[in-house]
Amino acid sequence: MTTTLDQALADATERYRQSHPASERIYHDATLALPGGNTRSVLFFAPFPPAMQRGEGCHLWDADGHRYLDALGEFTAGLYGHSEPAIRHAITETLADGLSLSSHTAREGALARELQRRFPAMELLRFTNSGTEANLMALASACAHTGRRKVLVFKGGYHGGVLAFAGGGSPVNVPHDWIVARYNDLQDVHQRVAPHRGELAAILVEPMLGSGGCIPGEPEFLQGLRALADECGALLIFDEVMTSRLSFGGRQALLGIRPDLTTLGKYFGGGLSFGAFGGRADVMQRYDPRGSGALQHAGTFNNNVLTMAAGLAGLTQVLSAERLESLNARGEALRQRLNALLAGHGVAMQFTGLGSLMQMQSLAGPVRSADDLAAGDDRVKALVFFELLARGVFMARRGFMALSLPFGEAECDQFTQALDEVVTARRAVLPSL
């Protein structure tokens, strides 16, 4: 099987290379100035990624003229799809008044109040330029408020480019005093925290591991973290940069858990750079510049007019609670449909996730933590990825998917049919149940 799988993957990769000459040329030109032709690591895969030229609705076109169903959704940031009319209008209207206005504008307060309405735990909040910045500022706030330095995080967690814990950590992570525990395992958490209870500043957790495999946090686990934070005097930080889209008020609303701080990003900027952190008033009040000794939080583009306009238009004109609920119901149904298809073919694969977020896994059985993914074979995911791409379906190379609002029932049918064709054609080299 190994030789056959390797050959199948080599054949699919070579077909991809031959059918994307323009993308290969663009990639090669980029390598002259960018290390590996890349400035955003998650987008790269061998031999080279497609060079996308435009998007419309839930479709993409690359430099070689191929049209794709966009099942990736810009890693959750593309919730509105491509070129949503209300957001485009808001951006062009704002452009007419100038880009850099060097002061406050009315839109920033309006956008903050809209976020506050959706996330009541964010009693006060501030904007940043990305989810990474939001998490950095949330951690800085927790350390300043508690006077402590240790931070509990989870293996497989991802909170930004310098806050990544796949494999337990990254050499480029910021130097907080990390305690890394197993996700969905309160016993492991308590064992690791026990010697440091009086030193713990924060618990930083995704209510569902996003980049770590779309592994939902079990309610009892997340409730246990809330209790642990209360017992230790630490701040519970929910990183809802991805999971905020699972309901009108994020996963915290679905679970009835109130974190001390929440971080947001991705689609809240309407497709432009955005981040936010906020929470308890007593913590966030420390940034009030009217007070003596206020904490400083700078950022030239924190309140840039385009993001404020696009974000506000998206939340007030497009993203109703009903549309979001419908999208997540569609995602739930699609994931169940795909898993039934795989099981029907006797293939040891599955899609994990919640709502409109999911990831293809090359193994069967329960998946509760990043450790459970070690049994998967990445070659299987690579083969399915290239075969889907050849059939006009685009997702992340690792199998990640985030549905956008324009991704409707017809698109769910298209994706399911494409996967069925791939599994049927490649059944001999796919793992069996």
Joined together, the tokens standing for residue 339 give: 């898993």
pLDDT of residue 264 exceeding 60: yes
pLDDT of residue 335 exceeding 60: yes
Q: Are strands 261-265 and 275-279 parallel, antiparallel or unpaired?
A: antiparallel
For the four alpha carbons of 367, 372, 376 and 382, in that order, the dihedral sign comes to positive
Two domains, one topology: 2-79+321-429 and 85-318: no
The predicted structure's pLDDT at residue 427: 96
Long-range contacts of 94-103 (CB under 8 A, 24+ apart): 94/305, 94/306, 94/309, 95/306, 97/305, 98/305, 99/304, 99/305, 99/306, 100/304, 100/305, 101/305
> So what CATH class is 85-318?
alpha beta
Residue 4 burial (CB < 10 Å; 0-12/13-18/19+)? exposed
- Distance (Å, rounded) from C-alpha 207 to C-alpha 356? 15
pLDDT of residue 3 exceeding 90: no
Q: Residue 381's closest CA among 337, 344, 341, 349?
A: 349
Q: Residue 406's closest CA among 72, 56, 52, 53?
A: 56
The predicted structure's pLDDT at residue 2: 55
Segment 222-234 mean pLDDT? 98
- Within 10 angstroms of residue 57's Cβ, the number of other Cβ atoms is 17
Segment 207-212 mean pLDDT? 98
- In which residue are the tokens 């880009």 written? 99
Q: Quick one: pLDDT band at residue 355, thresholds 50, 70, 90? A: very high
Of all residues in the chain, the percent with pLDDT exceeding 90 is: 99
Residues 83, 86, 88: CA angle, nearest 5 degrees: 45
Q: Quick one: pLDDT band at residue 1, thresholds 50, 70, 90? A: very low
Segment 62-74 mean pLDDT? 98
Give the CB-side neighbour count of residue 286, counting CA atoms within 13 A: 18
Segment 5-9 mean pLDDT? 96
Segment 36-61 mean pLDDT? 98
pLDDT of residue 135 exceeding 70: yes
pLDDT of residue 370 exceeding 90: yes
Contact 267, 77 (CB under 8 A): yes
Of all residues in the chain, the percent with pLDDT exceeding 70 is: 100
Interval 143-166: pLDDT, tens: 999 999 999 999 999 999 999 999
Bridge partners, residue 55, by sequence: 60
Contact 52, 60 (CB under 8 A): yes
Helices 2-18 & 378-390 angle (0-180, nearest 10): 40
Helices 106-118 & 305-313 angle (0-180, nearest 10): 40
Q: What are the structural domain ranges in the chain?
A: 2-79+321-429, 85-318
The predicted structure's pLDDT at residue 94: 97
Q: Indicate the fold that domain 2-79+321-429 takes in CATH.
A: Aspartate Aminotransferase, domain 1 (3.90.1150)
pTM: 0.97
The predicted structure's pLDDT at residue 253: 98
